[in-house]
Amino acid sequence: MNTLESNTINPDKQHLIIIGNGMVGHHLVEQLVARGATSRYTITVFGEERHLAYDRVHLSEYFSGRDAESLALSTAEYYAEHGIALRLHESVTAIDRDSAEVVTEQGRYAYDRIVLATGSYPFVPPIPGNDRAGCLVYRTLEDLDEIRAAAEDAATGVVVGGGLLGLEAANALRGLELETAVVEFAPRLMPMQVDSEGGELLREKIQSLGVQVLTERATQRIEDGEASRHRMVFQDDKVLEADLIVFSAGIRPRDELARACALEMGERGGVVIDDQCLTSDPAILAVGEVALWNNSIFGLVAPGYQMARAAADTLMCDALEGDAERFQGADMSTKLKLLGVDVGSIGDAHGDRTPGARMFRYLDPLKQQYRKLVVSSDGKRLVGAMLVGDNSVYDSLMQYYANRIDLPDDPASLILPSSQGAPALGPDALPDTAMICSCHNVSKGDVCASIDAGAGDLAAIKGDTRASTGCGGCAALLKSVVDHELESRGVEVDHSICEHFAHTRQELYDIVRVEGIKTFSELMRTHGADSSHGLGCDICKPAVASILASCFNEPITDAAHVGLQDTNDTFMANMQKNGTYSVVPRIAGGEITPDKLVVLGQVAQKFDLYTKITGGQRIDLFGARLEDLPAIWGELIDAGFETGHAYGKSLRTVKSCVGSTWCRYGVQDSVGMAIRLENRYKGLRSPHKIKFGVSGCTRECAEAQSKDIGVIATDNGWNLYVCGNGGMRPRHAELFATDLDDDALFQTIDRFLMFYVRTADRLQRTSVWRENLEGGLDYLKEVIIDDSLGLGAELESQMQGVVDSYECEWANAISDPEKLKRFRSFVNDSRPDPDIIFTSERGQLRPA
Q: Are strands 244-247 and 135-137 parallel, antiparallel or unpaired?
A: parallel
Range of weakest confidence among 422-436, 780-794, 796-810: 422-436
- The one-letter amino acid code at 98 reads D
Is 70 exceeded by the pLDDT of residue 729? no
User: Which residue among 376, 394, 425 closes a domain?
Assistant: 425
User: What sign results for the dihedral spanned by CA atoms 642, 648, 649, 654?
Assistant: positive
Q: Are residues 348 and 379 in the same domain?
A: yes
Residue 638 is assigned to a structural domain of this protein: no
Mean model confidence pLDDT for the chain:
88
pLDDT of residue 210: 84
How many residues are listed for the chain in this entry? 848
- CA distances to 47, 418, 822 from 828, rounded to whole Å, are 60, 63, 11
Is 50 exceeded by the pLDDT of residue 82? yes
The predicted model gives 117-139 an average pLDDT of 94
| Residues in binding site for [4Fe-4S] cluster | 657, 663, 697, 701
Q: Are 825 and 832 in contact (CB under 8 A)?
A: yes
Instruction: Identify the bridge partners of residue 45 per DSSP, sorted by sequence position.
Output: 18, 86
pLDDT of residue 783: 94
The predicted model gives 395-421 an average pLDDT of 81
Residue 743 is assigned to a structural domain of this protein: yes
What is the phi/psi pair of residue 656, to 5°?
A: -140, 155
Is 80 exceeded by the pLDDT of residue 43? yes
CA 92 – CA 85 distance, rounded (Å): 15
CA 232 – CA 223 distance, rounded (Å): 7
CA 412 – CA 255 distance, rounded (Å): 45
Q: Are residues 414 and 439 in the same domain?
A: no
Q: Are residues 72 and 193 in the same domain?
A: no
Rounded CA Rg of the chain = 30
Nearest to 302 by CA among 118, 481, 435: 435
pLDDT of residue 208: 82
CA 277 – CA 310 distance, rounded (Å): 7
In eight-state DSSP terms, residue 252 is E
Instruction: Count how many Cα atoms sit within 13 Å of the Cα of residue 556 in the half-sphere of its side chain.
Output: 31
Nearest to 363 by CA among 389, 391, 395, 328: 389
User: Which residue among 425, 458, 483 closes a domain?
Assistant: 425
Bigger pLDDT: 246 vs 838: 246
CATH at residue 116 = 3.50.50.60
Is 50 exceeded by the pLDDT of residue 245? yes
Q: Are residues 415 and 435 in the same domain?
A: no
Is 50 exceeded by the pLDDT of residue 9? no
> Percentage of the chain surpassing pLDDT 90?
56
Residue 787 is assigned to a structural domain of this protein: yes
Q: What is the per-residue pLDDT across 314-342, written as a single tens digit (0 to 9) for each?
A: 999 866 655 678 998 888 888 877 777 88
CA 798 – CA 603 distance, rounded (Å): 37
Is 90 exceeded by the pLDDT of residue 39? yes
In eight-state DSSP terms, residue 199 is H
pLDDT of residue 5: 40
Is 90 exceeded by the pLDDT of residue 280? yes
Instruction: Identify the bridge partners of residue 68 per DSSP, sorted by sequence position.
Output: none
Is 90 exceeded by the pLDDT of residue 23? yes
The predicted model gives 176-202 an average pLDDT of 91
pLDDT of residue 425: 65
In eight-state DSSP terms, residue 834 is T
Q: Are residues 112 and 21 in the same domain?
A: yes
- CA distances to 508, 585, 761, 774 from 496, rounded to whole Å, are 10, 36, 11, 20
Looking at the structure of the chain, the number of domains it has is 6
The predicted model gives 733-749 an average pLDDT of 95
Bigger pLDDT: 777 vs 366: 777
Q: Are 173 and 159 in contact (CB under 8 A)?
A: yes
pLDDT of residue 419: 44
| Residues in binding site for siroheme | 701
Instruction: Provide CB contacts within 8 A for 649, sequence distance 6+.
Output: 546, 685, 686, 687, 688, 689, 763
Q: Are 403 and 430 in contact (CB under 8 A)?
A: yes
Domain residues for the domain of 389 are 331-425
Q: Are 232 and 222 in contact (CB under 8 A)?
A: yes
Nearest to 41 by CA among 7, 73, 92, 74: 7
Is 60 exceeded by the pLDDT of residue 421? no
> Strand ranges (DSSP E) for 146-218?
156-160, 179-184, 212-215
Q: What is the per-residue pLDDT across 218-239, written as a single tens digit (0 to 9) for each?
A: 999 999 999 999 999 999 899 9
Q: Are residues 653 and 794 in the same domain?
A: yes
To 10 degrees, what angle do helices 505-515 and 742-759 make? 110
Is 60 exceeded by the pLDDT of residue 151? yes
Query: How far is C-alpha 709 from the geometric centre of its chain's CA atoms?
Result: 17
Is 50 exceeded by the pLDDT of residue 831? yes
Residue 8 pLDDT class (50, 70, 90 cuts): very low
Cβ burial of 408 (10 Å; 0-12, 13-18, 19+) is middle
pLDDT of residue 423: 53
CATH at residue 378 = 3.30.390.30
Q: Are strands 717-722 and 709-714 parallel, antiparallel or unpaired?
A: antiparallel
Range of weakest confidence among 1-10, 628-637, 737-746, 813-822: 1-10
Q: Are 501 and 462 in contact (CB under 8 A)?
A: no
pLDDT of residue 2: 42
CATH at residue 684 = 3.30.413.10
CATH at residue 436 = 1.10.10.1100
CA 312 – CA 83 distance, rounded (Å): 17
Q: Are residues 142 and 258 in the same domain?
A: no
DSSP string, 623-660: EE-GGGHHHHHHHHHHTT--B--TTSSBEEEEEE--HH
Is 60 exceeded by the pLDDT of residue 163? yes
CA 839 – CA 280 distance, rounded (Å): 65
CA 388 – CA 343 distance, rounded (Å): 5
Residue 832 pLDDT class (50, 70, 90 cuts): low
Q: Are residues 67 and 25 in the same domain?
A: yes
The predicted model gives 65-71 an average pLDDT of 77
Q: Are residues 153 and 175 in the same domain?
A: yes
Range of weakest confidence among 434-438, 479-483, 592-596, 827-831: 827-831
pLDDT of residue 728: 54
User: Which residue among 467, 493, 519 closes a domain?
Assistant: 493
Q: What is the per-residue pLDDT across 534-546, written as a single tens digit (0 to 9) for each?
A: 577 778 888 899 9
Is 90 exceeded by the pLDDT of residue 794? yes
Range of weakest confidence among 310-324, 375-389, 642-656: 310-324
Q: What is the per-residue pLDDT across 426-460, written as a single tens digit (0 to 9) for each?
A: 677 778 888 888 778 888 889 999 988 888 877 78
Q: Which helix (H) or strand (E) holds 30?
A: helix 23-34
Q: Are residues 159 and 203 in the same domain?
A: yes
Is 80 exceeded by the pLDDT of residue 655? yes
Q: Are 182 and 157 in contact (CB under 8 A)?
A: no
Residue 473 pLDDT class (50, 70, 90 cuts): low
- CA distances to 134, 291, 576 from 139, rounded to whole Å, are 15, 18, 38
The predicted model gives 49-57 an average pLDDT of 89
Nearest to 592 by CA among 556, 561, 636, 526: 636
> Percentage of the chain surpassing pLDDT 70?
93
pLDDT of residue 93: 96
Q: What is the per-residue pLDDT across 336-371, written as a single tens digit (0 to 9) for each?
A: 777 778 888 999 999 988 999 999 999 988 778 899
The predicted model gives 600-625 an average pLDDT of 91
| Residues in binding site | 657, 663, 697, 701
Q: Are residues 241 and 260 in the same domain?
A: no
CA 293 – CA 295 distance, rounded (Å): 5
Residue 40 is assigned to a structural domain of this protein: yes
In eight-state DSSP terms, residue 54 is B
Residue 611 is assigned to a structural domain of this protein: no
Instruction: Count how many Cα atoms sit within 13 Å of the Cα of residue 665 in the half-sphere of its side chain.
Output: 13
> Strand ranges (DSSP E) for 120-248?
120-122, 135-137, 156-160, 179-184, 212-215, 219-224, 230-234, 239-242, 244-247
Is 90 exceeded by the pLDDT of residue 486? no
Q: Are 608 and 624 in contact (CB under 8 A)?
A: no
Q: Are residues 761 and 674 in the same domain?
A: yes
Residue 639 is assigned to a structural domain of this protein: no
Residue 686 is assigned to a structural domain of this protein: yes
Residue 439 is assigned to a structural domain of this protein: yes
The predicted model gives 789-811 an average pLDDT of 94
pLDDT of residue 692: 96
